[in-house]
Amino acid sequence: MNPVRKFGRSFFACRAKLLNPFWEVWYWYISSLDKDKEVIFLNYGYADHNKLELKKEDENNRYSIQLYNHIANSIRLEGLDILEVGCGRGGGASYIARYLAPKSVKGIDLCKKSIDFCKKHYHVKGLSFCHGNALSLPFMDNNFNVVINVESSHRYSDMERFLGEVYRVLRPGGYFLFADLRDEELIKSLRKQLDNCRLKIIKEEIITPNVIKALVLANEKRMDLIERLVPRFLHGLTKEFAGTKETALHKSFVRGKKEYLYYILQKD
């Protein structure tokens, strides 16, 4: 296939999910050219006074894993069926499957290239991946004990519809573990959407300080990754995506213009 045509086909395959240019470029680039599989997490991370015990092979992704641990370890997942919506390149789903002893973990993402990567890269008992849309989940009603959604929903075109799908696929008594960023002026709107989604809010937490701390601690490593993997003309956009120091995104967290929120919700 002509390289330009191949680029176009891959680039626009994920467009419905990604609502601004640097997200589009970054997802296409990582999915296509990360040959050494160095980027398996795409979240901003979490850091506090506790240091999570990790296997040596997971140490490079410490702060991203700690975000998943803070969210997913809020309830006991042992023996449960888990769905992660917006699994990206599968690092979080893999961590949950390997460390938290669920019965099964299913990851779903709209970007087919990411799912293709996950299917080739991960070989963990009980862990599987499928291509699909968060707004129309390809699962039967009452299918999962827990739905997890990390740093993904801010790109969805219809949050209410997504929440309706979460409610539908959860079993009675099941949990929705949700974490994402929002601009300051959109936080009340998010809370209203959660209040109206038929799931009961069990816990609400602002974890912005922990996210900022993780960004600072991971800054050097992320800058090195950008220098090695990304063409120079994309450095600015990629640094913005990664939330490195002095970017508008990093400053917006520090100044309180964006907040990072974490919720536990439950289906009656």
The pLDDT of residue 24 is 55
The pLDDT of residue 254 is 97
The pLDDT of residue 237 is 81
Cβ-based neighbour number of residue 238 at 10 Å = 22
- Nearest-angstrom CA–CA distance, 111 and 23: 12
The pLDDT of residue 17 is 42
Contacts of 253 (CB under 8 A, 6+ apart): 181, 208, 211, 212, 215, 243, 259, 260
| Paired tokens of 61 | 């992704």
pLDDT tens digit sequence for 50-61: 999 999 999 999
The pLDDT of residue 39 is 87
- Nearest-angstrom CA–CA distance, 187 and 169: 25
Question: Domain locations in the chain?
Answer: 3-266
pLDDT tens digit sequence for 124-157: 999 999 999 999 999 999 999 999 999 999 989 9
Residue ranges in the chain whose pLDDT is less than 50: 2-20
Distances in Å between the Cα of 79 and the Cα atoms of 75, 97, 124, 256 are 12, 11, 15, 39
In one letter, which amino acid is 204?
Answer: E
The pLDDT of residue 6 is 44
The pLDDT of residue 34 is 67
Query: Which of 150, 148, 154, 124 has the alpha carbon at shortest distance from 258?
Result: 154
CATH code, residues 3-266? 3.40.50.150
The pLDDT of residue 56 is 96
How is the beta sheet containing 81-85 ordered, strand by strand? Answer: 127-131, 104-109, 81-85, 144-150, 170-183, 258-266, 200-206
The pLDDT of residue 238 is 83
Long-range contacts of 239-243 (CB under 8 A, 24+ apart): 240/22, 241/22, 241/23, 241/26, 243/44, 243/215
Burial 27-51 (b: 16+ CB within 10 A, else e): bbbbbeeeeeeebbbbbbbbbeeee
The pLDDT of residue 23 is 55
